[in-house]
């Protein structure tokens, strides 16, 4: 019997499905306990989700109704794990599929099969801005490309105690030359020893072309020059098949630390930084967690800053312009002394920092970013 191209594509797609937690193949960086991002998986019990055979039969029957070119688009996205740019996969939004006792729309079924087996509801998802369906409300055709979606990172309450930062760590040094740098203290005062003094020149020059600048650090050393961002979306990565943005792998680093080199190798597809109407979102495209600290992620009245853990495939609104503006109160001593505290986000790859980590300050993290937003 001759096998058609369509059948071959369907078989390859099924082999590339997302592993279910507990089958021994699940990505070890995708889920875990602790942290502030609700990325903890709920095992998909067979009694609720149907047997493997039932799911396979249903998925195959749906895939065989999709055009060959669309199957190729889906396969490209799934096999590259989102690393290759793939167009939208526009399919009917109202086709329902029943798995076990639950019914799912066609997009939800594809998202569950190819990315998140524990996905329960569409409210857990956020569409990436690169998608044609971004911002659309109940369109007849909706993009079903699983890698045009991300999981929403919901903050736990109360946050875990390891991520708390006493306000003493945030106090500015008495003078630039006599105190520790901002990176060592966890604050965001830009003194000359830190190496970010050129970012101040960018901000003070009144340059309105960029909306943020990005600095890449390895421990206490900044690597390369500041990256000025004009486009609404930026990929920051070490190794991406079709990357267009800030490639950390092209920077020259003299750091020979085995830990730094190990973390570098795990950055992979990195993150996507996107400026949207409601703020700036960070999407974790890598296979390992990232850790984020931002003043706008916390309660404005809080006297602590928190480090938030974001799992692979999840997005978090790391910066909110409205909140940042409200933080700059004339009578607020903290922001009078550090006017840019609310306009900086720190992101560490793979390794976290905080009081219950061996790394108390971000400057001890092997590979990390400082994103400085233009307050003008």
The pLDDT value recorded for residue 57 is: 86
Higher pLDDT, 150 or 51: 150
Q: How far is CA 215 from CA 65, 190, 221, 237, 357, in A?
A: 47, 12, 10, 13, 23
Cα of first residue to Cα of last residue in the chain, in angstroms, is 67
Q: How many CA atoms lie within 13 A of 130 on its CB side?
A: 20
CATH homologous superfamily of 5-13+52-152: SMAD MH1 domain (3.90.520.10)
DSSP 364: G
Give pLDDT tens digits for 77-124. 999 999 988 899 998 877 677 766 777 788 999 999 999 999 989 899
Q: Is the pTM of this model over 0.85?
A: no
Can you state the angle between helices 52-63 and 5-15, rounded to 10 degrees?
140
Reading phi first (left if > 0) and then psi (alpha if -120 to 50, else beta), residue 22 is in: left
Residue 184 has pLDDT above 90, yes or no: no
Cα dihedral 345, 348, 354, 356, rounded to 10, equals 150
Give the Cα separation of 312 and 147 in Å (integer). 12
For residue 282, the cross-strand partners are 273, 316
Give the Cα separation of 41 and 108 in Å (integer). 17
Q: Cβ of 265: how many Cβ atoms within 10 Å? A: 13
| Contact of 155 with 297, CB cutoff 8 Å | yes
| Burial (0-12, 13-18, 19+ Cβ within 10 Å), 328 | middle
The pLDDT value recorded for residue 194 is: 37
Selecting from 3.10.20.30, 2.60.200.10, 3.40.30.10, 2.60.40.10, what CATH number does the domain 212-330+338-373 have? 2.60.200.10
Place of tokens 């970010």: 196
Give the Cα separation of 10 and 186 in Å (integer). 50
Give pLDDT tens digits for 254-285. 898 999 999 999 999 999 999 998 899 999 99
What does 148-177 look like in DSSP terms, one character per residue? GEEEE-PBPSSPPGGGEE-GGGGSPPSSTT
Higher pLDDT, 327 or 354: 354
What does the domain layout of the chain look like in residue ranges?
Answer: 5-13+52-152, 212-330+338-373
Give the Cα separation of 21 and 53 in Å (integer). 17
The pLDDT value recorded for residue 21 is: 65
Percent of the residues in the chain that have a pLDDT greater than 70, as a whole number: 70
Q: With cut-offs at 50, 70 and 90, classify the pLDDT of residue 302.
A: low
Q: What b-and-e string marks burial along 238-249, b requiring 16 or more CB atoms within 10 Å of the CB? A: bebeebebbbbe
Span 298-318, average pLDDT: 85
Q: With cut-offs at 50, 70 and 90, classify the pLDDT of residue 3.
A: low
Across the chain, what does the average pLDDT equal? 77
The pLDDT value recorded for residue 146 is: 96
Q: With cut-offs at 50, 70 and 90, classify the pLDDT of residue 187.
A: very low
What does 319-347 look like in DSSP terms, one character per residue? E-HHHHHHH--TT-HHHHH-TTGGGEEEE
| Contact of 330 with 254, CB cutoff 8 Å | no
| Burial (0-12, 13-18, 19+ Cβ within 10 Å), 306 | buried
| Contact of 271 with 290, CB cutoff 8 Å | yes
Q: With cut-offs at 50, 70 and 90, classify the pLDDT of residue 357.
A: confident
């Amino acid at each position: 019997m001759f096998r058609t191209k369509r059948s071959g594509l369907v078989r390859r797609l099924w082999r590339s499905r997302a592993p279910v937690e507990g089958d021994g193949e699940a990505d070890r960086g995708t889920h875990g306990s602790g942290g502030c991002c609700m990325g903890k998986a709920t095992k998909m019990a067979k009694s609720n989700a149907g047997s493997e055979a039932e799911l396979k039969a249903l998925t195959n029957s749906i895939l065989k109704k999709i055009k060959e070119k669309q199957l190729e688009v889906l396969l490209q996205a799934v096999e590259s794990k989102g690393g290759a740019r793939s167009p939208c996969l526009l399919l009917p939004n109202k086709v329902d599929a029943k798995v076990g006792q639950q019914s799912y729309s066609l997009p939800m079924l594809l998202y569950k099969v190819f990315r998140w087996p524990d996905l329960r509801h569409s409210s857990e998802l956020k569409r990436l801005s690169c998608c044609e369906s971004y911002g659309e409300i109940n369109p007849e055709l909706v993009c079903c490309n699983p890698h045009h979606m991300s999981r929403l990172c919901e903050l736990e309450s109360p946050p875990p105690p390891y991520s708390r930062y006493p306000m003493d760590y945030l106090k500015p040094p008495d003078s630039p030359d006599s105190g520790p740098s901002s990176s060592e203290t966890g604050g965001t005062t830009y003194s000359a020893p830190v190496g970010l003094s050129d970012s101040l020149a960018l901000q003070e020059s009144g340059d309105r072309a960029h909306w943020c600048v990005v600095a890449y650090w390895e421990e206490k050393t900044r690597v390369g020059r500041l990256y000025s961002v004009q486009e609404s979306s930026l990929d920051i990565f070490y190794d991406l098949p079709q990357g267009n943005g800030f490639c950390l792998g092209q920077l020259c680093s003299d750091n020979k630390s085995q830990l730094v080199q190990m973390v570098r190798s795990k950055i992979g597809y990195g993150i996507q930084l996107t400026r949207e109407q409601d703020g700036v979102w960070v999407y974790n495209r890598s296979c390992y967690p990232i850790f984020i600290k931002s003043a706008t992620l916390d309660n404005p009245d809080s006297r602590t800053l928190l480090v938030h853990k974001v799992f692979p495939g999840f997005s978090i609104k790391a910066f909110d312009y409205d909140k940042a503006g409200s933080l700059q109160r004339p009578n607020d001593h903290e922001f009078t002394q550090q006017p840019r505290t609310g306009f900086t986000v720190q992101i560490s790859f793979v390794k976290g920092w905080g009081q219950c980590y061996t790394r108390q300050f971000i400057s001890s993290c092997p590979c990390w970013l400082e994103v400085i937003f233009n307050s003008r």
